[in-house]
């Protein structure tokens, strides 16, 4: 069982930066793939970025070059550094975990989810 708690969301102006953090509990963290997803009102939940247990990373095209996902296995933490934020990045951001490194960009393959944190980017 893995429990996830996100933090770091908030209100920021366009062009600004935020860093989201996800604290994970459970002894399987280091072997888990981790992902950040987001969901805007009226839209489906989509992947933003993912990182495998081995450190390979994947990004949605819309955030490549602006967002960076990282993990610290010693602290059971996953981070999402978000730079050059745009109004269209406004959404609830979720941290998620899964027990395999397969299909890490697919929402439906993740077993564990945090409660989400709101990110609002004003123009």
CA separation for the pair 94, 12 (Å, rounded): 18
Q: pLDDT value at position 68?
A: 98
CA separation for the pair 44, 22 (Å, rounded): 21
Give the number of C-alpha atoms closer than 13 A to the C-alpha of residue 117, restricted to the C-beta side.
Answer: 21
Q: pLDDT value at position 44?
A: 97
Q: Return contacts of 8-14, CB within 8 angstroms, 24+ apart.
A: 8/117, 9/93, 9/117, 9/118, 9/119, 10/118, 10/119, 10/120, 11/120, 11/121, 11/122, 12/85, 12/119, 12/120, 12/121, 12/122, 13/121, 13/122, 14/85, 14/86, 14/87, 14/121, 14/122, 14/123
Give the pLDDT means over successive 10-residue stretches in the chain (123 positions).
93 98 89 96 97 97 98 96 98 96 95 97 96
Q: pLDDT value at position 98?
A: 95
């Amino acid at each position: 069982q893995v429990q996830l708690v996100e933090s770091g969301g908030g209100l920021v102006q366009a062009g600004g930066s935020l860093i989201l953090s996800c604290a994970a509990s459970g002894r399987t963290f280091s072997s888990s793939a981790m992902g950040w997803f987001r969901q805007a009102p009226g839209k489906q939940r989509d992947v933003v970025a993912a990182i495998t247990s081995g450190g390979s990373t994947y990004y949605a095209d819309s955030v490549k070059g602006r967002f960076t996902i990282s993990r610290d296995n010693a602290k059971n933490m996953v981070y999402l550094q978000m730079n050059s934020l745009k109004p269209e990045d406004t959404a609830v951001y979720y941290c998620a975990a899964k027990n395999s490194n397969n299909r890490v960009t697919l929402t439906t393959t993740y077993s564990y989810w945090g409660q989400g944190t709101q990110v609002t980017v004003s123009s």
